[in-house]
Amino acid sequence: MQNALGPIGFIGTGQMGLPMALNLLAAGFELKVWNRTPSKADELIAKGAQRASSPADAVRAGGIAITMLADDAAVEEVAAGTDGLAARLGAGGIHLSMSTIAPATARRLASAHERYGCTYVAAPVFGRPDNAAARQLVICTSGPAAAIARVRPLLDAMGRAVFDFGEQAGASNVAKLCGNFLIAAAIEAMAEAFAMAEKSGLDRNQLATMLTKTLFAAPVYQRYGEMVAAKRHTPPGFRLPLGLKDIELVLATAGAAQTPMPLAAILRERIIGGLARHREAMDWSALALGALDDANLE
């Protein structure tokens, strides 16, 4: 099956893209890879991938291209235009876009791909770099069913579960933004609770252990609860500026749908406050430090 798909173009081999691409290689897929910083693809080249000279050079006509890039602008830059992925893929090609971007951007890109006869599939992921390395990503898809079926072996090689949200291009991006909003809200809620506990004389780590083994025994609370309780936000798996990007996408999407999300607005201000305190190199869980600032805790 791997050889039947032919060489896969993989664009974006950063913190998330690298382990995802390594899993594809381990599953026997051929890869041609590109990253803006070429050295970030060196491990893949050493393990048998080909190096592309440009994003378009990474893909073949009628083939499959995967992008795992930082934001909407980066995806549109490599995908659109006369020298973009869509033009290079052409008839029968598929662009599997795994970045967290706006639903509106996904819809715009889907239309652009149609003009070249190729298909855009949105497949944003839930998980951090270690989840990607362990092939434990949760992947949300949306787009034409036949195209999703064609790329399913690739998704199975990178994740543990795939949830499809139908044919509408931006649907899975809405699902992804809903999830990220809930994660950020959980971080803020734990930050406030642990700050109150600490100021009341409790051991915040002991409280986190109790809560995440009983009432909140779920991966998000367990993982982020430990980080928030311990006030440990480095090394970053997902940097604070990217968290701001995602929350702003949540607010823009909510605005377009005329859906008030006051908590998302609070989260945006919390993250901006953290960036104002020069926390841009920290994990986005560092938004929790705002509760310590407010409570005059170290």
pLDDT band at 24 (very low <50, low <70, confident <90, very high): very high
Mean pLDDT, residues 112-131: 97
Instruction: Give the per-residue pLDDT at 83.
Output: 83
**Predicted local distance difference test score (pLDDT) of residue 1:** 45
Res. 82 pLDDT band, cuts 50 70 90? confident
What number is the average pLDDT over the span 102-111?
A: 97
Is residue 250 within 8 Å of residue 101, measured between CB atoms? no
Question: Would you list the domain boundaries of the chain?
Answer: 2-166, 174-295
Per-residue pLDDT, 129: 97
d(CA 176, CA 172): 6
Asked whether 93 and 111 are in contact (CB, 8 A), the reply is no
| Full 3-state SS string of 163-209 | EECCCCCCHHHHHHHHHHHHHHHHHHHHHHHHHHHHHCCCCHHHHHH
pLDDT (mean) for 171-199:
98
What is the model's pLDDT at position 81? Answer: 77
With contact defined as beta carbons under 8 Å apart, do 120 and 110 qualify?
yes
Mean pLDDT of 95-122: 97
SS3 121: strand
E strands, the chain, where?
A: 8-11, 31-34, 50-51, 64-67, 94-97, 119-122, 125-126, 137-141, 159-164
Mean pLDDT estimate for the chain: 97
Q: ∠ CA 140-272-293 to the nearest 5 degrees?
A: 115
Tens digit of each residue's pLDDT (9 = 90 or more) over 245-294: 999 999 999 999 999 999 999 999 999 999 999 999 999 999 999 999 99
Among 32, 40, 47, 176, the one annotated catalytic: 176
Helix (H, G, I), strand (E, B) or coil at 243: helix
pLDDT greater than 50 at residue 75 = yes
Chain position carrying tokens 């029968």: 92
Phi, psi of 29 (to 5 degrees): -80, 145
| CATH class belonging to 2-166 | alpha beta
Tell me whether residue 176 is one of the annotated catalytic residues. Answer: yes
Residue 190's pLDDT band (boundaries 50, 70, 90)? very high
pLDDT digits (tens, 9 = 90+) for 138-165: 999 999 999 999 999 999 999 999 999 9
Cis-peptide, bond into residue 235, ω within 30° of zero: yes
CATH tag, 174-295: 1.10.1040.10
Q: How far is CA 135 from the centre of its chain?
A: 14
pLDDT value for 188: 98
74-88 mean pLDDT:
91
